[in-house]
Amino acid sequence: MDPILPIIFFLVVASAVALLAAKRFIIDNSDFWFSMGMILADFGKYEMAARCCERAVRIYPFYVHAWNNWGLALLKLGRLEEALERFDEALTLNPALGEGWYNKGIVLEKLHREGEAKEAFERAGSLGVEI
């Protein structure tokens, strides 16, 4: 038997194990996708940021900050109704999320729903958000 064959076999098996670990860490990791969304948003890549946050909440539906940041990306894209839905989901999961109320207020203001916007801003203020 050629001595190189066991080495090649070992390398193939090690590569397969590494790929499985990478899949678990990257593809199935909501924190990875949330972080990628934040980085992309910082670079103004809001469409990709929205998709990353969407991926994060598909993996972990209770990821409040991913819902909130998904809404922010949609807000930047001018997709106000969708952004409002994402903020509402974040606030359903955590009604004490001050930044969520603030962001919701911004969207409501842009939708000319001033009364609701005022209430959202007041709620944000009561939760410690500077307005």
For helices 98-110 and 114-126, the axis angle rounded to 10 degrees is 160
Compute the distance between CA of residue 80 and CA of residue 19 in angstroms, rounded to an integer.
Answer: 39
CA angle, 50 then 81 then 88, to 5°? 80
Task: Give kind and range of the element (H or E) at residue 32.
Answer: helix 30-42
Compute the distance between CA of residue 40 and CA of residue 37 in angstroms, rounded to an integer.
Answer: 5
pLDDT, position 125:
97
Token pair 């409040």 is found at 64
pLDDT, position 79:
98
**Each residue's pLDDT expressed in tens, for the chain with a length of 131 residues:** 567 877 776 777 777 777 776 666 667 899 999 999 999 999 999 999 999 999 999 999 999 999 999 999 999 999 999 999 999 999 999 999 999 999 999 999 999 999 999 999 999 999 999 98
Domains of the chain (ranges, CATH numbers) = 30-126 (1.25.40.10)
- Taking the complete model, does pTM exceed 0.85, yes or no? no
